[in-house]
Amino acid sequence: MRWDHLLLDCRLATMADNGAAYGAVERAALGWKDGKIAFAGPQAALPGKPADLAAYVESAGNAWITPGLIDCHTHLVFAGNRAEEFELRLQGASYEEIARRGGGIVSTVTKTRAASEDELLAQSLSRAQTLVRDGVTTLEIKSGYGLDLESETKMLRVARRIGAELRIDVRTTFLGAHAVPPEFAGRQADFVDEVCVRMLPAIAHAGLADAVDAFCEGIAFTPSEVRRVFEQACALGLRVKLHADQLSDLGGAALAAQFGALSADHLEYTNEEGVRAMAAAGTIAVLLPTAFYVLREKQLPPLAQFREHGVPLAVASDVNPGTSPVLSLRLSMNMACTVFRMTPEEALRGATANAARALGLADRGTLEAGRRADFVIWNIEHPAELSYWIGGDLARRVVCGGADL
Ligand code: NIG
Ligand code: FE
C-alpha cells in the first residue's frame, strides 16, 4: 500500500502539541495517500526507502509547510459592496447609526436578494479564490444577507458551489438572526418566529447548514431571542455559534457557552464570567481583528483572561461588506498580532488548529498522520513571517485533500 506522494526536505510547522514552537519538525518528510496524511515527521524516521514508500517522491527544498489555513468566520457571499457607508463613517457616522437608519446589513440584503444565484456566485467566487491563493483550504461561510427562506437558501447553495468550484471545503452556517429585514420592521418577535418555525427546519432538512449563528447585540437580537433560535437549532441537531459582545456586553459569551456553542465570536466586551463559562464549555474564542480595526473600536477583547482560563483562541477574517472588506486571512493574523497583541504562533494556531475546533472539525488543523492532507508550502524563512508580512504572494503551493489547487 504505497503512499500517493512523499515530500522530502521539509520544515513542518505541524501546529501539533509536540513541545516545540509551532509544533515544528525540521529535516522532515510529509507523505499522503487518498487525501489523508500518511506520515508527518522526521525524515530519518521514515519507515523505508522513499522510492519504496510512495509512487511519487520529490524534494520540498527545505521549505516551510503549515496546515492549510482555516477561515472559520466569514460572510463572503454577498452582492454589491458598502464603500458608500465607508465614506459616511469617515465623515463621522457610526456603524450603529448607519444600521439604525436602515443602511448597514439591510442594504446588503436588498442587493443580495436582487441578485440571481449565478450572479451571486460570480461576485463571491473571486473573493474566495483570493483567500485560497493566500493559503485557505477550509472556509466557513454564513448566510444572513437573504433573511427570507428563498434568499437564505440561495446564499447557502452559492456557498456550497464555491467549495465545489474551488475544490476546497466550505462549511456553511445559517445566520437568519443577523438583522430584521424591512418587511418585518417593528415586528422583530415575528421575524424571530419566522427564523425558528419556518427557516431553520427547512434549512436543516435540506442539509444546507453545518451550524447556526446569531447576532446578539443592541442593534440586532436580544439574548432571549437568541435563546429561542438556539433552542430550535439544538432540537434540530445543529451546533451553534454566536456573534457575541462585539459592541456591548449583553452576556453573549456566557449565553453561547450555555448552549455548548462551538465558538463565540468578536468578544470585545466579554466579561470574566463569560470567559469562565466559555472555558468550562470548551467554546472557542474567535477573534476578528480586521472588523475591530475597520470600526476603529477601542475596547480590546480580554486576551489575558482567555489565556489565563485556557480558552483556545482562533482568528478569522470576518469577510463582509460592512465591517471587514478584507481578502486575506493573513492580514487578519497580522492584525491579531499588531492590534490584539497575540503572538505570531498564537495567530497561526488560531488560523489552523483552533479554527478547526471552532468549526467542530477534528480531522484537520495540524499536520499529523490520519488528518486531511490540507497544507501549504510557503516562500518564507520562518513561520512568524505568515503574520509579519502584510500582503505578498507567499503561498507557493496550496494542497487540499491531497490535490494541488
Ligand atoms: O461580523 N456583526 C455582525 N455581522 C458582521 C457585519 C455584517 C455587515 O455589516 O454586513 C460582522 O461584523
Ligand atoms: Fe461576522
Q: Given the CA of residue 108, which atom of ligand 1 is nearest to it? A: 10
The C-alpha cell 418566529 sits at 193
Return the pLDDT at 1. Answer: 77
Q: Exposed, middle or buried by CB within 10 Å (0-12, 13-18, 19+), for 57?
A: middle
- Residue 291: CB within 6 Å of ligand 1? yes
Ligand 2 center from residue 189 Cα (angstroms)? 22
Ligand 1 center from residue 348 Cα (angstroms)? 23
**Is 91 in a helix, a strand, or coil?**
coil
Count helices and strands (H / E) in the chain: 17, 15
CA atoms of 49 and 120, how far apart (whole Å):
50
Return the pLDDT at 186. Answer: 93
| Site to substitute for ligand 1 among 243, 250, 335, most atoms within 8 A of C-beta | 243
- Residue 320: CB within 6 Å of ligand 1? yes
> Could you tell me where the beta strands, DSSP code E, fall in 178-229?
211-214
pLDDT tens column, 223-278: 999 999 999 999 999 999 999 999 999 999 999 999 999 999 999 999 999 999 99
| Site to substitute for ligand 1 among 75, 81, 107, 263, most atoms within 8 A of C-beta | 75
**Is 117 in a helix, a strand, or coil?**
helix
Q: CA-based diameter of the chain, in Å?
A: 71
Q: Given the CA of residue 291, which atom of ligand 1 is nearest to it? A: 12
Which one, of 133, 79, 139, lies nearest residue 107 by Cα? 79
- Residue 75: CB within 6 Å of ligand 1? yes
Could you tell me the three cell numbers for 370?
A: 490520519
| Site to substitute for ligand 1 among 72, 323, 326, most atoms within 8 A of C-beta | 323
Ligand 2 center from residue 376 Cα (angstroms)? 26
CA atoms of 390 and 205, how far apart (whole Å):
42
- Residue 243: CB within 6 Å of ligand 1? yes
Q: Which residues pair with 13 in a beta bridge?
A: 24
Return the pLDDT at 102. Answer: 78
Which one, of 295, 216, 218, lies nearest residue 259 by Cα? 216
- CATH fold label, 69-358: TIM Barrel (3.20.20)
Which one, of 249, 209, 250, 207, lies nearest residue 226 by Cα? 250
Among the bound ligands, name the one nearest to the CA of residue 108: 1
Which one, of 70, 78, 72, 110, lies nearest residue 325 by Cα? 78
End-to-end Cα, the chain, rounded Å: 25
Is 106 in contact with 82 (CB distance < 8 Å)?
no
Give the residue whose CA is nearest to atom 3 of ligand 1. 215
CA atoms of 338 and 389, how far apart (whole Å):
12
Ligand 2 center from residue 164 Cα (angstroms)? 23
Return the pLDDT at 221. Answer: 97
CA atoms of 105 and 93, how far apart (whole Å):
15
Give the residue whose CA is nearest to atom 1 of ligand 1. 318
CA atoms of 117 and 125, how far apart (whole Å):
12
- For the chain, residues with pLDDT lower than 50 are none
pLDDT tens column, 349-369: 999 999 999 999 999 999 999
Q: Given the CA of residue 95, which atom of ligand 1 is nearest to it? A: 9
Locate the domains of the chain by residue range. 5-67+364-404, 69-358
Is 164 in contact with 127 (CB distance < 8 Å)?
no
Is 64 in contact with 382 (CB distance < 8 Å)?
yes
Q: How far is CA 79 from CA 109, 127, 173, in A?
A: 8, 12, 18
| Site to substitute for ligand 1 among 175, 215, 216, most atoms within 8 A of C-beta | 215
Question: Under CATH, which number does the domain 5-67+364-404 receive?
Answer: 2.30.40.10
Give the residue whose CA is nearest to atom 12 of ligand 1. 323
Q: At 354, give phi and psi (nearest 5°).
A: -75, -30
Q: How far is CA 236 from CA 204, 212, 310, in A?
A: 7, 10, 30
